[in-house]
Amino acid sequence: RRTPTGPTFAQACEVFATEYKVMTQGQRNEQYVEQKSNHIRVHLLPFFGRDRPVNEVTAGLIQEYRVHRQTSRKSLKTGEVQRPARSTLHSETVTLRQVLKTACRKGWIPAVPDMSVTYKSSGKITHRAWFSPEEYKALYEATRERAKNPKKERWRTACENLHDYVLFMGNTGLRPDEAMRLQERDVTIVKDAATGERILEIEVRGKRGVGYCKSMPGAVHPFQRIKQRKALQPTDVVFGKIQRALFNAILDDLNLKHDRDGNVRTTYSLRHTYISMRLMEGADIYQIAKNCRTSVEMIEKYYASHIKNMLDAASINVRKSKAPKPATQPRTNKAKAR
């Protein structure tokens, strides 16, 4: 057992967790704050060690941590290495950086070590995995059929909830975590003044606080069905946790688990589908960004393949009219004589 020679990594983690919870109160979602503690407890402390002096956490050790996370987890069934998602490893690295910044502010380390990812070229922009209109139709028709004829009667409610979830998500663009904590009192059925159609006005609670969303008309009936099925009270969650195993089983049956580039489709793909379809229909990109609580830059970056439908060729392919050539002057007799 090693003897600490200064403030330990565990002490830095403890100070960070305490400060972060206090300083972000009311500004960050509770689950997001709790996620930081989970990163520390489940991954960072077991690898770096409680007794390791924080000044021994070097750039080389951080790189070893990345390699460890990419190779240490294996499937119990196949024995193959299961790598964490890029976003998962990024979140853990952000937490580690925040812990080291805390140690730096305390004067326990002279500076935060280099945490850049080595051997990485400038990353290409990949489009988010989504369902094309035809694939989305096949998906909700499959969930509808499963809801009508579940493989086992005790699964009927779960199948019905999943069907309503797929339609709701495809017509609102909510993130899965936003939908999971959505309560009945956060949703109001209104008549849209511009179109005269019934839509949902949703008060969305996400990792960055409260935002707002106006749904497509197709989200109204799924919400009404699940509200009646569950006899929801104002503080009851609308969906809660969805059976992901059931969702994945249906994707496997339809051969839709991966897109053409090999990207895995998840419930998050329903949000990407909503954004992509709105772009394809020619919706204003700024209004989409506001309704989805994201930025125009993010949409342009990850959904650019669909922006082609918003481009007006007549406005792009403008040509200047050519100036008429000056009329040729007739030659005079004097010029002819020369």
Distance CA 58, CA 120 (A): 19
Distance CA 274, CA 291 (A): 11
Name the nearest CA neighbour of 218 among 234, 239, 197, 202: 197
pLDDT digits (tens, 9 = 90+) for 68-121: 999 988 877 778 888 888 888 999 999 999 999 999 999 999 999 999 887 765
Which pLDDT score, from 0 to 100, does residue 5 have? 72
**What is the reported pTM?**
0.71
Cα 42–chain centre separation: 23
Spatial neighbors of 220 by CB under 8 A, at least 6 apart, are 189, 198, 199, 200
Helix 9-23, helix 86-105: angle, nearest 10: 100
In the predicted model, residues of the chain with pLDDT beneath 50 are: none
pLDDT digits (tens, 9 = 90+) for 233-258: 999 999 998 888 999 999 999 999 99
**What is the phi/psi pair of residue 240, to 5°?**
65, -145
Quickly tell me which residue has 């004829």 as its tokens: 149
Q: Which residues pair with 213 in a beta bridge?
A: 202
**What is the phi/psi pair of residue 308, to 5°?**
-60, -25
Output the CA angle 12-40-56, nearest 5 degrees. Answer: 45
Which pLDDT score, from 0 to 100, does residue 178 have? 93
Q: Which residues of 53-91 are buried (b: 16+ CB within 10 A; e: fewer)?
A: bbbbbeeeebbebeeebeeeeeeeeeeeeeeeeeeebeb
